Amino acid sequence: MKIGDAVNKRILDLCAGRGITLNKLATVCGITQSTLDNIKKGNSRNQKIATIKKVCDGLEITVADFFDTNLFYDLEQELE
């Protein structure tokens, strides 16, 4: 799995676990819906850590909590 795919899946899993939509997450995080849509669609391959931090703040978790999942353990090497 590539990092962008793992970030996308993690965000979707966290939203599902909390019963919120991406639209609600965008509102809570103070980021645009289009930013989250681009992550979801894979159009944003290299999410900035600042965006991930905003998502974490909105979900009231730490960045460490965000990355503490098996999704990030065996990522493919990306040479781009």
29-67 pLDDT, tens per residue? 999 988 888 887 777 666 788 889 999 999 999 999 999
Mean pLDDT of all residues in 59-80: 88
Domain CATH number, residue 25? 1.10.260.40
Domain membership flag for residue 73: no
Domain membership flag for residue 16: yes
Domain membership flag for residue 47: yes
User: Residue 79 pLDDT more than 70?
Assistant: no
15/25 Cα distance (integer angstroms) = 7
Domain membership flag for residue 9: yes
Number of domains in the chain: 1
Domain membership flag for residue 75: no
Mean pLDDT of all residues in 12-34: 93
Domain membership flag for residue 11: yes
**Least confident among 8-12, 36-40, 75-79:** 75-79
- DSSP designation for 60: T
Q: Which domain holds residue 23?
A: 3-68
28/71 Cα distance (integer angstroms) = 24
**Least confident among 15-24, 34-43, 69-78:** 34-43
Domain membership flag for residue 79: no
